[in-house]
């Protein structure tokens, strides 16, 4: 008896993914060094002809049908290399290893090149949707050999989330294309999370909305154009009671956000490539500022802050809905822009319409907006920025005024809205035909003879500036 699919790493994600594979009619075999996890899977799988597992790498590999399709769901970093090394002696040419973790894309390129020499196909396939997604249908972002994709395609298409019946998975491009796309997905995720947290703060401080009122507001938004997984869970979070006190759980959670690095990588790489993604950058910075809790407490004692002027709830929620929609568009616009430029830089040949399409369900950034983004890139595959798409013009024009008002309100009333104000600034800068960077060029030439170009004639100029 040989199994269709192998999976190494039987943590929550791995176990759920394998059970999902089995639900869809494929046989699957798991592997983990931890005997307890192996036994737990065998027990949960029921019929060992369909789901089985073993701690031993050799037994695991020989249980699989060829070409073997082995997915790794282990922590990114060294563990991936260790697992690959442990599998290698048992593999045959043409076998396929799929890294389903959030590996850094250059690690994927290195592993792909190393394994190619040995005749092994390697995929970096980002998997989004958390534990529930893995079990019921994630969005999967695979990159690697186009020829080898045919072997994993039927399994991935069966297990992936469906949007109107279409699977949220497609072959994205060569080498690390899949991990790169997942990295940017996470960068956008950071942006959307920061933005929703600011709106939550604003509704509380400016409108005095209770958690219960906010729960209803977010739920209402989730049935409109803001429909998205993150708005939905925000609504749910706001109604969760605390087991340890009489209050709401959200009020008891320490305001220090952790991070595993994917958002930071998105920003770092955007900087390397010279692509502006300020809404993602600020979301990373805010997690860093949040970590400085002790300093924030001290600084809060030193500096006064205005007590927020109260705003009528209905007016506020209507403006907040617009501002959140506006800022979500900016976050997606920046992420898509990064993908477009990175695709050229790394030769991924990404199809942005297809990427938006597989993000419509299953993943953390799934949102009604992604259907519109899909259409925008399908209509114009080389669209440099969503803001230039005719289908987005009205959406932006209709929501920018409310965003301005709330950003101004936040500044006057001492409520930090870094993501929101930054999204607005991005918009104002991107849509300015003339920016004051002529002054920067003049300064560079003044102190360093760095030269400048002119508006009115071709060529490179330098001036002996008069002191």
- Which residues contact ligand 6PG (rule: CB under 6 A)? 102, 128-130, 186, 189, 258-260, 262-263, 363-364
Query: Which is closer to ligand 6PG, CB of 102 or CB of 211?
Result: 102
- Residue of 37, 182, 319, 357 marked catalytic: 182
DSSP string, 173-229: BSTTHHHHHHHHHHHHHHHHHHHHHHHHHHHHHHH---HHHHHHHHHHHTTTTT-BH
Q: Which residue is nearest to ligand 6PG (CB)?
A: 128
Neighbouring residues of 251: CB distance < 8 A, sequence distance ≥ 6? 211, 242
Compute φ and ψ for 86, nearest 5 degrees.
-70, -30
Query: Which is closer to ligand 6PG, CB of 123 or CB of 326?
Result: 123
Question: In angstroms, what is the minimal distance from the CB of 127 to ligand 6PG?
Answer: 7
- Residue of 69, 175, 189, 264 marked catalytic: 189
Beta-strand pair 28-31/51-54: parallel
Query: Which is closer to ligand 6PG, CB of 161 or CB of 417?
Result: 161
Question: In angstroms, what is the minimal distance from the CB of 412 to ligand 6PG?
Answer: 31
Question: In angstroms, what is the minimal distance from the CB of 457 to ligand 6PG?
Answer: 49
132 is a catalytic site residue: no
Question: In angstroms, what is the minimal distance from the CB of 408 to ligand 6PG?
Answer: 30
d(C-alpha 325, C-alpha 202), whole Å: 15
Q: How far is Cα of residue 292 from the mean position of the Cα atoms in its chain?
A: 24
Question: Contact at 8 Å (CB) between 142 and 152?
Answer: yes
d(C-alpha 212, C-alpha 201), whole Å: 14
Query: Which is closer to ligand 6PG, CB of 104 or CB of 151?
Result: 104
Residue ranges of the annotated binding site for substrate are: 102, 128-130, 185-186, 190, 260, 287, 444, 450
Q: How far is Cα of residue 80 from the mean position of the Cα atoms in its chain?
A: 21
Two structure tokens written together for 86: 């442990």
Which residues does residue 452 pair with via DSSP β-bridges, in sequence order? 461
Q: What ranges in 414-467 are assigned the alpha helix state H?
A: 418-430, 437-448
Question: In angstroms, what is the minimal distance from the CB of 184 to ligand 6PG?
Answer: 11
Query: Which is closer to ligand 6PG, CB of 188 or CB of 311?
Result: 188
Task: Give the CA radius of gyration of the chain.
Answer: 25
189 is a catalytic site residue: yes
Give the residue numbers annotated as catalytic, written as ranges: 182, 189
């Amino acid at each position: 008896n040989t199994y269709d699919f192998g999976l190494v790493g039987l943590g929550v994600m791995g176990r759920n993914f394998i059970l999902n594979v089995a639900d869809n009619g494929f046989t699957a075999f798991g592997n983990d060094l931890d005997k307890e996890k192996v036994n737990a899977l065998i027990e949960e799988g029921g019929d060992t002809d369909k789901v089985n597992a073993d701690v031993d790498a050799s037994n695991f590999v020989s249980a699989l049908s060829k070409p073997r399709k082995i997915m790794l769901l282990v922590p990114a970093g060294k563990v991936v290399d260790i697992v690959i090394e442990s599998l290698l002696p048992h593999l045959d040419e043409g076998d396929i290893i799929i890294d389903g973790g959030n590996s850094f894309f250059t690690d994927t390129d290195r592993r792909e090149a190393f394994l190619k020499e040995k005749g092994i196909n390697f995929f970096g396939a980002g998997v989004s949707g958390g534990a529930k997604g893995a079990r019921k249908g994630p969005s999967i972002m695979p990159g690697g050999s186009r020829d080898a994709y045919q072997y994993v395609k039927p399994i991935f298409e069966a297990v992936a989330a469906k949007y109107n019946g279409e699977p949220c998975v497609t072959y994205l491009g060569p080498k690390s294309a899949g991990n790169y796309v997942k990295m940017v997905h996470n960068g956008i995720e950071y942006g959307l999370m920061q933005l929703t947290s600011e709106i939550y703060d604003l509704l509380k401080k400016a409108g005095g909305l209770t958690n219960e009122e906010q729960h209803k507001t977010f739920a209402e938004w989730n049935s409109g154009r803001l429909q998205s997984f993150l708005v939905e869970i925000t609504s749910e979070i706001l109604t969760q009671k605390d087991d340890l006190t009489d209050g709401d759980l959200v009020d008891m959670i320490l305001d220090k956000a952790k991070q595993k690095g994917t958002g930071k990588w998105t920003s770092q790489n955007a900087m390397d490539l010279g692509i502006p993604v300020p809404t993602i950058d600020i979301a990373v910075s805010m997690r860093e500022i949040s970590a400085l809790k002790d300093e924030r407490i001290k600084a809060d004692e030193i500096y006064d802050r205005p007590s927020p002027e109260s705003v009528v709830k209905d007016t506020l929620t209507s403006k907040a809905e617009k501002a959140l929609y506006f800022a979500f568009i900016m976050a997606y616009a920046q992420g898509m822009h990064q993908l477009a430029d990175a695709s050229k830089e790394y030769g991924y040949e990404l199809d942005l319409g297809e990427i938006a399409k597989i993000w419509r369900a299953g993943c953390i950034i799934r949102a009604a907006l992604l259907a519109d983004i899909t259409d925008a890139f399908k209509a114009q595959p080389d669209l440099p920025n969503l803001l230039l798409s005719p289908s987005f013009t009205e959406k932006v024009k209709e929501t920018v005024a409310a965003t301005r008002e709330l950003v101004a309100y936040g500044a006057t009333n001492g409520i930090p809205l870094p993501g929101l104000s930054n999204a607005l600034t991005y918009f104002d800068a991107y849509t300015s035909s003339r920016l004051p960077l002529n002054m920067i060029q003049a300064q560079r030439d003044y102190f360093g003879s760095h030269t400048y170009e002119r508006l009115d004639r071709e060529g490179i100029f330098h001036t002996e500036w008069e002191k």
